[in-house]
Structure 1
Amino acid sequence: MKVTVIGCGYLGATHAASMAELGYDVLGVEIDSGKRESLASGKVPFYEPGLEDLLATHVASGKLRFTDSFEEAGAFGEIHFVCVGTPQRHDGLGADVRYVDAAVESLAPHLGEGALVVGKSTVPVGTAERLAARIAELAPGVDAELAWNPEFLREGFAVEDTLRPDRLVFGVASDRSEKVLRDFYAPILATETPVVVTDFATAELVKVSANAFLATKISFINAVAEVCEAAGGDVVDLADAIGHDDRIGRKFLNAGIGFGGGCLPKDIRAFLSRAGELGVEDTMSFLRQVDDINLRQRSRVVQIATTMLGGSVARSRIAVWGAAFKPESDDVRDSPALSIAGQLHLRGALVSVYDPKANDTARAMFPTLDYAESALLAARDADLLLHLTEWPEFRLVDLGVLGETVRNKLVIDGRNKLDAQAWRDAGWTVRGLGRP
């Protein structure tokens, strides 16, 4: 079976390389010439562990190549995966689906007989039904169909999540579409991966519901963390205790500076926006509080920093460890760490940022900040150190050397991942979120 992947950003490049790994001949369609040329040379224009090796292997083998031609894609593929982005709209909270629409409308006139177009992008519910009708208009007489197969990738684990997913969801309108998807994913289904077969609307809602639930869980523990601070409790011990309840679980109960990235923030806003369009906004209104609590964590860290520095951060040297929204990524979209660094800078602090992988992407977004080439260089003469992205190297730093590097031994652990007792034994004042 020949496969095309429409849109070769984070999702598409991962899917294309992974499908080549499964043995398929894959053609990636990417209209951005710089990105396309990079991928065609075996280079990934972002950081994702394991992906570049996979990409380079299959570009070299000829199993994977790239084009900007939808006509070529239509002639080549039997199954076409739409993986373009759906960013937040500039004029509201909703998802911008123009790129999805454009991809389908560019591909549809070139579809071959019996082709299956498979949406993987995260879209507002109702999009698939509309696109299915559009394909029927633009590709009459070729019996092409649409299915929806949402992705559930975690940045830092995207290749693993693609090749060994914890579930597959097929939103289909016919038995034939289901069969094509089952045949296509046969190598993965052979490992007893669970499959949920459902309709378009449910498949679309699965992804945004999953992200909304995870975001709610994070904001819940961050709200509890503030209560712990007021009452003298320890949110880490609390999360450990409630996490033993298998109805709750320990994952995503890590109090800190909150969530970011290109999915959770914009997906919960888009979900709320679409609920409003459907007339059920009040039912989902709690997502506004989830979003508000998440954004509040950033201002809380700025307030704590201000207090620790005597009421003002102006002219203070502040070291920020971390810029990516999470470790094993260079993604700084809606990054809490970079947002905090930016707020401190605007208040007059001299901010030096270091991230093992995201310095370049952070510099492109916040060029006015200073960027260091190591954790120790960022901390030179610092009045305050902020640990904001939990890269493993930050937990392995030599505290003796670090103590001689900074001006004041003050640290805010925005992820509650440092060994607070070890730092205190080394003479540091340590402030966590939701901890004594």
Structure 2
Amino acid sequence: MAVYIATSSNEDAAPTVPRAYAWVVFALTFGLLLSDYMSRQVLNAVFPVLKAEWSLTDTQLGSLSSIVALLVGILTFPLSVVADRWGRVRSVTLMAGLWSLATLGCALAASYNQMFAARFFVGVGEAAYGSVGIALILSIFPAHMRSTLTSAFMAGGPVGSVVGMALGGIVAAHFGWRWSFGTMAAFGMFLVVFYAVIVRESKLRPERKPAAGAGPTAAAQPLKLRAIFSGLFASRSVVSAYVGSGLQLFIMAAMLAWLPSFLNRYYGLPTDKAGVAAAAFILVGAIGMTVCGIVTDRISRSAPSRKWNVAIVYSLLSAGFLLAGFMMPTGTGQLVMLALGMAMVAGTTGPAGAMVANLTHPSIHATAFATLTLANNLLGLAPGPFVTGLIADRVGLMGAMQLVPLIALAATAAFIFGKRHYADDLRHIRGLST
């Protein structure tokens, strides 16, 4: 039977998992990531309806979106540590079940406070899924596929957002907004049952094949907490990658949350059409994320430090296109510029993930991705919708959207700082690994 054998000069052992089963696990784990973001972003499609029905301010609407990302940011690290000890498969199943039930609670909410409470538990359920899911996938595939799998898996976020907003808007228009949440909850529960039946921890941890040159005592030993923290923040460049990635995703989060409302208010689109149109922009972002990752790998194949240059270019291009778009009058020209900006805005995800992997020891990669998720949520995904709503209540949604792309300049500064120290930091990491 064909198997994938992960090999790396920095890893003590290589897990072997049947190739077909590895891809089945990837597909199911990716499917749950779609459910994650469908449950998270369906809210944005029904913003106009909730605003009218419950007389909510833009700040309140933004808080319903941001509370999920805030909980993800706060809980991702501790829950990732728990998942590593309790079992990743068991943890994934429990988390997906929780966010699906909480999404059903959103469908039953009768007020802003009840909706906020339900969204709170959506955030708790989704908190560590991204880091645990990618760690599970990377553990059963070869090391040389790490960048490709990371970008492909993370692209599930925008794709799930697309489906959530488009389907949510359509369902809301025909059956009411409560059915939008109910549909997402049903899809999540279906996948949870399927996942629990097919994916087994024992199948993901078969006998391990020693890597070349590994001695009989090469078994990995659990690291102490101090050593883990030291490895996660050992270099200035890895901290810069965390910060730059998080700041850039501030823009993506704001676009995810407010594009349906933007199209509703300034283009006069009804809820269902606004959701579908916004989903098209997010799909452009998902495609752009994947394409940018592939381009980055090709450009930096012989010179890894070029990843920093590429990330800088993506940040500046996204800022330029989005600023130009929101400064233009409504119409086709504006939509084209916004689409170009969306294609670039999440392009830094792949380079940032690769830089974090390069700058941390393989023994703490799962925790490093949890830390990256923490930065992405606390610096970007959580404050993006809320801050944009806060500004919109004061200067209007158009004014707020014109200010959001400026965050890319701060992300650019972080990437420039990281590039200056990357070579020295990488030599240091490699020295510790030998």
Tell me, yes or no, whether TM beats 0.5.
no
The structure in which a higher percent of residues are helix is: 2
Bigger fraction of residues in strand: 1
TM-score computed with the length of structure 1 as normaliser: 0.21
The higher radius of gyration belongs to 1
Higher relative contact order (CA 8 A, sep 6+): 2
